[in-house]
Amino acid sequence: MTRASDMFDRFLNTFAAWALALLWILPLAYAVWTAIHPSAYEANFDLFAPLTTENFVKAWQAAPFHRYFLNTFILVTMILAGQFLLCTLAAFAFARFEFPGRNVLFALVLLQLLVMPDILMVENYQTMRLLNLVDTIPAIALPYIASGFGIFLLRQTFMTIPKELDEAARIEGASVLGVLWKVYIPLAKPTYLAYGLVSVSHHWNNFLWPLIVTNSVETRPVTVGLSVFSAIDSGIEWSVINAATLMTSGPLLIAFLLFQRQFVQSFMRAGIK
Amino acid sequence: MQTLRLKRDWIYGWLLLLPALVFLFAFTHIPAVTTLLNSFFSTPRGRRPAKFIGLENYERMLNDAVFWKVLWNNLWFAIGTIPVSVALAIVMALWVNDKLAGRSFVRMAYFTPTVLPLIAVANIWLFFYTPGFGLFDQITGFLFGWPASNYLGNPETALNAIIVVTVWKEAGFFMIFYLAALQAIPISLKEAAQIEGAGRWTIFWRITFPLLMPTTLFVCVNAVINSFRLVDHIFILTDGGPDNASALLLFYIYEVAFRFWETAYGATLTVALLVLLSLLAIGQFFFFDRKVHYK
């Protein structure tokens, strides 16, 4: 290949990559544009249109978003804490102990990658009714706490840790849980970070199950709150709805822009294992 | 001594597993079984308890025009989203993996839709699709002079409009997996091919693409599951309408179980979904198994 055609090839690729990137960012950019300008400029592009934060203020006052944010925060923390605890213990058992039924049980754990709790919403709702938990935050969290994905991911990580480290700690008199706490968990930190980011963003964004199991302001997470807010056909301006939309995705979006590298690497790490 | 150690291992293993298994069984395995059982019963109403009705629910399902409609829609949705988003993901990953001017911006642009909630995505696109003054109509009107059109309100285009949104949301997510796989391919392979005089196109089809096969399997399995699972945006964009033109199977299950409160029929539809998912998983495994080169 000649130098000139190589240059041309490079130029074409760069151009196409940028064109697609601009196309991809366009919907979001449009939402940002309408949210930070007065509603008169919704469909009227003027580079010098006055900027405003009014839309955000209006959205914040029009619906109890502060409560929705608190609910989502509690929900995500609850799920993450539960997942870390249960998945760590289960992954440790699968990675380092021999016991009858191990393979069958592991297959049953992996089955959850296919049959996700969302798909079983009809039965899970009945369970929550039986437990008298409908319209509570734990009801949203419980089906996700034992995550097949989390167990699998941590097991793969734990298996890469040399057994000698484990044995050395035991000779020094550490108990089983002591070994887990002092050897395995510290060495698996990157996996925890990766899994944590994936889990938080997944449950922050989750909608269908929370929609079914909640029906009051005190329990609704932001996604359901947003859908309730934008479903009211009382002529709320688009700029206000867009402001609310950005607000609900805001914390994740900002975290993503700040820690872009970690996010991308986390999703990669969670994927290849 | 050896046996004692083993017995102790058993107990530790089981105890460590116990909490996770309780939750797994309570919210995945037992519900899956009771779904199957309930599909043979009628829906309990008020003082009337559920009663065994054999295959009546299944008969109803086979005669339910809406069921076939949403199944068909789901097939189109899968055909419309999976190949396009996977192909786009590969192209995106190749670009972002290259030394490209402004690479980090490009990567951010591709990946950003992944971190947005599907509900928020739907809101953004709803505005995009608004007849008359949404950006979509403004662009087509400006470029081609097309009249205002209601993409979401027209049965012909509603499902396609939803497919576009889904591809936009998913492609960047799948890109990440391809990016990871590309970075694992040794550069020496590519250099060797270049010395042999292979062009970019040949290198891609003969070296890169075959080596990406395990990733493609993984991504496809995910994409298939997602095509049955992603229904959040339908609630905002079309609510399944017009006339079920854009309803998918899981959305229909929601409607039947939580709008009409026919839980037994909802369970029957869930069984259909579970059977479909398992068949697809098994089928894909065998289909790809012959073509995948494992390391």
Query: The complex's ipTM?
Result: 0.87
pTM: 0.89
> What residues of chain A, 204 to 263, have a C-beta less than 8 Å from chain B?
204-205, 207-208, 211-212, 222-223, 226-227, 230-231, 238, 241-242, 245-246, 248-249, 252-253, 256-257, 260, 263
Burial class (CB within 10 angstroms; exposed 0-12, middle 13-18, buried 19+) of A151 = buried
Answer whether residue A203 is part of any domain: yes
Answer whether residue A28 is part of any domain: no
Q: Output the six-digit token pair for B64.
A: 């339910």
Chain A nearest-CA distance from B52, in A, is 18
Closest in B21, B106, B253 to A18, CB measured: B106
Verify whether the Cβ–Cβ distance B28 to A111 is below 8 Å: yes
Verify whether the Cβ–Cβ distance B229 to A24 is below 8 Å: no
Residues of B in contact with A78 (CB under 8 A): none
Verify whether the Cβ–Cβ distance B24 to A115 is below 8 Å: no
Count of domains forming chain A: 1
For B207-276, give the DSSP string. Answer: IIHHHTHHHHHHHHHHHHHHHHH--HHHHHHTTT-STTTT--HHHHHHIIIIIS--HHHHHHHHHHHHHH
Contact residues for A169 (Cβ-Cβ < 8 A; gap 6+): A178, A179, A182, A183
Predicted pLDDT of residue B114: 86
What fold is seen in the domain B58-289?
Answer: MetI-like fold (1.10.3720)
Give the residue among B7, B48, B45, B2 at the shortest CA–CA distance from A100.
B7
Predicted pLDDT of residue A141: 94
User: Which chain B residue's Cα is nearest to A41?
Assistant: B133
Mean of the per-residue pLDDT values for chain A? 86
Answer whether residue A162 is part of any domain: yes
Verify whether the Cβ–Cβ distance A93 to B12 is below 8 Å: yes
Predicted pLDDT of residue A116: 85
Phi-psi domain of B146 (left: phi exceeds 0; alpha: psi -120 through 50; beta: other): beta
Predicted confidence (pLDDT) per residue in A146-168, tens digit: 999 899 989 988 998 888 888 88
Check residue A180 and report its DSSP letter. I
pLDDT per residue, tens digit, chain B (295 aa), is: 566 667 888 898 999 999 999 999 999 999 999 999 999 998 888 778 888 888 889 999 999 999 999 999 999 999 999 999 999 999 999 998 888 888 888 988 998 888 888 988 888 888 888 877 777 777 777 777 777 778 888 888 899 999 999 999 999 889 988 888 888 888 888 888 888 877 778 888 888 888 888 888 888 888 988 899 889 999 988 888 788 888 999 999 999 999 999 999 999 999 999 999 888 888 877 776 665 554 3
Distances (CA, A) of A16 to A21, A26, B95, B107, B175: 8, 15, 9, 13, 16
Verify whether the Cβ–Cβ distance A114 to B218 is below 8 Å: no
For residues B19 and B69, what is the distance between their CA atoms, to the nearest angstrom?
A: 42
Q: Are B116 and B169 in contact (CB under 8 A)?
A: yes
For residues B66 and B51, what is the distance between their CA atoms, to the nearest angstrom?
A: 25
Residue ranges of chain A with per-residue pLDDT less than 50: 1, 273
Check residue A51 and report its DSSP letter. P
For residues A54 and B2, what is the distance between their CA atoms, to the nearest angstrom?
A: 73
Q: What is the dihedral of CA B73, B79, B82, B87, to 10 degrees?
A: -150
Answer whether residue A48 is part of any domain: no
Answer whether residue A2 is part of any domain: no
Task: Find where tokens 């097939």 sit.
Answer: B75
Task: Provide the domain limits for residue A178.
Answer: 64-272
Predicted pLDDT of residue A11: 85
| C-alpha neighbours within 13 Å on the C-beta side of residue A58 | 18
My answer on whether omega of the bond before B242 falls inside 30° of 0, hence cis, is yes
Answer whether residue A255 is part of any domain: yes
Query: Which residue type is seen at B168?
Result: W
Verify whether the Cβ–Cβ distance B267 to A43 is below 8 Å: no
Predicted pLDDT of residue A8: 83
| C-alpha neighbours within 13 Å on the C-beta side of residue A25 | 15
SS3 B46: coil
Kindly tell me the sign of the dihedral angle through the C-alpha atoms of B267, B268, B273, B277. Answer: positive
Q: Give all strands (DSSP E) within B44-203, no chain letters.
A: none
Chain A nearest-CA distance from B9, in A, is 6
Provide the residue ranges of all domains of chain B, joining segments of one domain with +.
58-289
Q: What are phi and psi of A146, to 5 degrees?
A: -90, 95
Q: Are B165 and B237 in contact (CB under 8 A)?
A: yes
